[in-house]
Structure 1
Amino acid sequence: MKTPESKQYLMLGDKPILAHTLERFQAMACVDAIVLVVGAGDVARGEAYVSRYGLTKVAAVTAGGAERQASVREGLRALPEGTAWVAVHDGVRPFIGEALVRRCLQEARQTGAAVLAVPVKDTIKVADSNGVIQSTPDRRSLWAIQTPQAFRLDLLRDAHERAVRDGFTGTDDSMLVERLGVDVRIAEGAYTNIKITTPEDLLWAETIATRYGGEGLT
């Protein structure tokens, strides 16, 4: 993001990106509890957000690990007793709607695991280390993966435990579950469910927020 502040704490309109994301889940009838995973030095700030924005569904604010995978593991440990299903979401995707979350959960109930994704619009090339194109995959089979990713909790915990034992690091949680031989289903997402990672993304986010505000996002 090229800013001294972490991207999730940058302002989008009148509040931080992370606060927008948390408020979305706070308002969802299908969400019973939220666990917020932050950097070790940001727990107090996370707890302040919970108080300031009335986030009554936040059951815990916990420190994450050195990388994303370890942070998710810490979040799973902090879930309330009796939790059966979990959705893992990026804090910098503030335009998620309840219909998308329900769609992902519905697909997850088929096999125990599902991800939100959108069809790839661009032609994709596979290149070698020298920048020479090696192949062109069929675009019709390609999907850009989003979050949330929804899982039966015992399945995701098992996937994380096996990854630790095997010394395996995946790029997302579905990759860990795929290693177990479990079918991970795709639920079609929305192109507005963007992940704010670069300065250009923040400009796009401001456009979405201005165009839709709190309404109209699926």
Structure 2
Amino acid sequence: MTENSSTDRGWRGSQDVWLDAAYAALVEKGVDAVKILPLANALQLSRTSFYWFFKDRKQLLGMLLDRWEASTTGALVAASRDYAATETEAMLNVISTFLSDELFDTKLEIAVRAWAQQDPQVLERLQCADAARLAALREMLERWGHGAEDADVRARTIYLVQVGYISMRVEEPLAERLERFPSYVEIYTGKRPPQQEMERFMARIGYRGAAS
């Protein structure tokens, strides 16, 4: 059997298999659970197979942080630059990213914020992410005509409310949260989204309940 056979690859797993297992351990138990031997045992793979895909645990942790940045900061920055015909539509694009883990990985965000409390390097990376997210929100608001100081205050209001939802692990029915969206948008932008815009927004996210 050659080194490149499918059986051999299956025995070792793959980089994604190891990374997914590390992700699950991080979000469920914290960074101290992301260790090579426990991951190998959970995957029923040999410990040495880990080293086919990663130099060491540090590289694995670094790739987890890369995944976090892509699925949180990357998603939010992209949403702030999405096409929108109006400022209120642009704001709906942004705050809708926090509706599900498919758009903004809240579980990973919580885990990384906990990790940062015990690792200065991760804390520095988290602070850089916070700064990048705030900058993206400020830039979006400035594009819609807000002055620098006004955009900064509004950006902080948006961001601190949404991160507060995550940090406090707020659980509420989607319908209840969506009912607040027009008021959130009005607070964040100074403008209330028209009914037709809310209806288009609800349709876009696949929500079939009554529009606010």
For Structure 1 versus Structure 2, the TM-score category normalised by the shorter chain is: under 0.3
Specify which structure has the higher proportion of helix: 2
Specify which structure has the higher proportion of strand: 1
Tell me which of the two structures has the higher relative contact order, counting C-alpha pairs closer than 8 angstroms and 6 or more residues apart. 1
TM-score (norm 2): 0.25
* Larger radius of gyration between Structure 1 and Structure 2: 2
